[in-house]
């Protein structure tokens, strides 16, 4: 194994991006509109600090709009924020089962 055989840490998504389609005139534009590391939803503590610290404090929810992250609401704690990021919102049929 050479010095540069691994593209990044094993716990992060691949940063390898597909090649641009020569037939699509908007391919370069679409590439720039992808969110960083393909994370479309994220949460952050309202009062700063590490995301894993103080799991009972409220979180700010942010969603990618194609250009930047915009506020999408708040969650009461870390568990609810993680459910929102993963798409299982309490009160819906999928989460209630």
* 80 in Cβ contact with 90 (< 8 Å): yes
Sequence length of the chain is 97
The phi and psi torsions of 42 (rounded to 5 degrees) equal -150, 165
Any bridge partners for residue 69, and if so which? 64
Which pTM was predicted? 0.61
> Could you report the per-residue pLDDT of 50-92, keeping only the tens digit for each?
878 889 999 999 999 988 899 999 999 999 999 999 987 655 4
* 35 in Cβ contact with 26 (< 8 Å): no
Contacts of residues 57-66 at CB distance under 8 Å and 24 or more positions apart, as own/partner, are 61/85, 64/35, 64/39, 64/40, 66/33
Share of the chain above pLDDT 90, in %: 32
């Amino acid at each position: 194994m050479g010095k540069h055989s691994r593209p990044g840490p094993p716990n992060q998504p691949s940063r390898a991006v597909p090649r641009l389609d020569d037939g699509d005139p908007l391919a370069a534009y679409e590439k720039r509109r992808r969110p960083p590391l393909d994370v479309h939803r994220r949460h952050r503590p309202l009062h700063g600090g590490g995301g894993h610290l103080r799991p009972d404090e409220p979180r700010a929810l942010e969603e990618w709009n194609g250009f930047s992250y915009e506020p999408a609401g708040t969650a009461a704690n870390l568990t609810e924020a993680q459910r929102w990021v993963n798409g299982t919102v309490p009160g819906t049929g999928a989460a209630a089962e």
